[in-house]
Amino acid sequence: MTSRDGFQWTPQNGLKQGVPSIGVISPSTKITSDTPWDVIVIGGGYSGLTATRDMYQMGEELEPSFDFSRGVNYFELRTDKHSTTMSHEEEDTLLATALEKFVNVDGDMGRIIVPFPYAGFHNPDARKYDKMSVLDRLNVISQSLTPNERTGLESFILLCSCGTLETTSFFEFLHWWALCGYTYRGCMDCLISFKFKQGQSSFAIKFFNEALSTGNLSYAFNSPVKSIQDEDKKVTVTTRDGRSFTASCLVSTIPLNVLNDITFNPPLDPIRTQATKIGHVNQCVKVHAEISNKDMRSWTGISYPFNKLTYAIGDGTTPAGNTHIVCFGGQHNHIQPEEDVNATKAAVTSMAPGNMDIQRLVFHNWSKDEFAKGAWFFSPPGFISSSLDALRQRHGNILFANSDWAIGWRSFIDGAIEEGTRAALTVKEELRSTPLRSHL
């Protein structure tokens, strides 16, 4: 099956829309009744899927992203002034040293300021750092950083936020740092070192199939929501094509950057409304490249600040035996990859000139996706302090569950599961004393 989203480019076929995915559901709708539902869940991401399932088992489906056992086996740091290669051990030392200088605001690598990452934003001493941008913090420590440390540090931060140095919250980075055990190695282990062998769709489809197997799930994909009305102990969802669905309660997993497109009646509270207008900053460009150079499997690289893609790693081997390179760029030097494939190819090639014989490109433009308007959540300065509590509140019979406002692994799949579980437990408790009908 081929998705509706995303793009592929090959020399033979040029640019084509859609990518192969085992997560595509066919038929796209399964509704056999128009009677009122117990619960409507808007969204088929991990928050929505979690709200309809009980458990999962995929511990054996993980594999490492890195393989430094053969090939070129080096890290390449390219700036607009020079190019340097170093061992991966030297890469780790460079980034670890720079990150430790960056986060050490309390003499204990952030442990005092954020002693418990699941409640850190309520700490008055920590909130002052939410008002700081990453650039503010970099200016404080600038004299202690070597040029290579500064380049590597900025690149790593922008890999996380995919915003700009000015628009990225320093506290949100501290939050990530705390979640990863206050170490660079922890960041690598938690953020980038492991992946699902068959991709995230293999994870999502297990959630969906488990929910479907209960016999209680009906679904309607390709049904964009226009409005949500909550009145008389019922919630009515109206889609753009005029269909309406009614339930006793509703779980909305609509992302932060999209919430402002939906009409709510009664309107959302002022703080949440303002938060949806601000949104988060992540406008990630993520390009997957299949290249013929098999030795690049053990390569990593930074190309900053001159290139439109900033950070890349050898991330696997394709069925054809080629190397899979995954490249990241952000808002600081943004491109629209499908609008100029030649510019995208040039950005990939510039990560490691002479070693990027591109056989295929695969990407999705998250910034232009009307149902995302960005990639994973990363907050601007001041946003967590002013908005996170409000985003987590219910609105009458409407519950909001999304990784964008998770307490723990905010912006990650784990955060989506956290939020979906929170909503599901609330709904289950409220419906416990009422007869179950069906679930959409």
Q: What is the structure's pLDDT at 332?
A: 74
Report the half-sphere exposure of 1 (CA within 13 A, side-chain side): 12
User: What are the residues facing 245 on neighbouring strands?
Assistant: 237
- Burial group, residue 187, by CB count within 10 angstroms (0-12, 13-18, 19+): buried
Mean pLDDT check: name the lowest of 9-13, 45-49, 388-392, 412-416. 45-49
Q: What is the DSSP letter of 116?
A: S
Residue where the block lists tokens 């931060």: 157
pLDDT in tens, 196-237: 888 888 888 888 888 888 888 889 999 999 999 999 889 999
Average pLDDT for residues 98-115, to the nearest whole number?
96
| Tokens describing residue 307 | 């290139």
d(CA 225, CA 261): 9
Domains of the chain: 88-196 (3.90.660.10), 225-280+376-432 (3.50.50.60)
* Bridge partner list, 168: none
Kindly report the backbone phi and psi dihedral angles of residue 67, in degrees, each rounded to the nearest multiple of 5, phi listed first.
-145, 100
Alpha helices in 77-146, H assignment, sequence order: 88-103, 124-130, 134-141
- Beta-bridged to residue 219, according to DSSP, are 30
**Comparing C-alpha atoms, which of 366, 361, 367 is closest to residue 287?**
361
Please give the model's pTM, rounded to 2 decimal places. 0.90
CA gap 349, 4 in Å, rounded: 27
Q: Which of 285, 398, 429 is nearest to 43 (CA)?
A: 398
Q: Counting Cβ atoms within 10 Å, is residue 242 exposed (0-12), middle (13-18) or buried (19+)?
A: exposed
Given this model, what pLDDT does residue 55 score?
36
The 10s digit of each residue's pLDDT in 315-372 is 999 999 999 999 999 987 778 999 999 999 999 999 999 999 999 999 999 999 999 9
SS3 173: helix
Distance CA 151, CA 182 (A): 21
**Average pLDDT of the chain to the nearest whole number:** 91
Instruction: Tell me the per-residue pLDDT of 273-327, one tens digit each, with 9 for 90 and over.
Output: 999 999 999 999 999 999 999 999 999 999 999 999 999 999 999 999 999 999 9
Cα–Cα dist 238/365, whole Å: 27
